[in-house]
Amino acid sequence: MISHAPMDTIALPFVVPLEGGSNFRDLGGYRTADGRRVRRSAVFRSAHLGTLTETDRAALRRLGVRTIVDLRGVSEAAETPHRIDGVDCRVVGAHIEPGIGDKIRRAIEDGSATPFLMVSYLTEHYRDYPRRCTPGFRTLFSTLSDGQHRPVVFHCTAGKDRTGFASALLLTLLGVPWETVVEDYLRTNELWIGHIGRYPELDIDTRAAIIEARQPYLEAAFEVVKADFGGAEAFAEQALGLGPAARQRLQSELLED
């Protein structure tokens, strides 16, 4: 049974335990800089939903999920399709191709994979989010902004990188302090179990550089947001189509006193 105890009495974020999934959590409950709170049970983030059990699907039904936004690439999504039979929701494809995966595989195959190289790959990957991946994020935020589609779950494969940047951007636009945004981002390191058994051929430091959510990665993306666009609000307007009125409506619907 999913409990919705008052947010002040439980640890943030509110995690939905799943038998066949991980890193599924409510983005609600966080305090903004002006003292408001992100509304609960409206927006959820997750790792992929391709191994859900019937118990997990019942959990999604209890949450009233209306829309799932899939940030995975086309082939990536086809390899692990959603297991959501019986969940009355629609799936929106907001495909962001995971080109970094091919680079990592080539480095492993030719023996060039090192912690330094993997950090450089991941850092550049995050920098690409605001530069080259805006169509997928535009689709996501268009869906998030439409109250008819909520509650919304958005996810990639791990719920770490693409989902991590999107979550950080949403919380930032809602006025959540950066320190809290980073804390939410880093919680993936505690909640994502899909990395277990991955890259067994790598040493621990090289593997960690790939599978961990790291603050410098997220900061690299937001440095581009600031340098190329002038900040999160300007990025939302110029790249995602969220002008001042749309951002104000998003705040009014997703924030409460």
156 is catalytic: yes
CA distances from 123 to 131, 134, 210 (A): 13, 17, 10
Strand partners, 75: none
User: Contact, 12 vs 29, CB < 8 A?
Assistant: yes
User: Contact, 159 vs 187, CB < 8 A?
Assistant: no
Identified catalytic residue from 77, 118, 144, 156: 156
CA distances from 141 to 76, 146, 167 (A): 21, 9, 10
d(C-alpha 143, C-alpha 154), whole Å: 10
User: Contact, 161 vs 96, CB < 8 A?
Assistant: no
Residues taking part in catalysis: 156
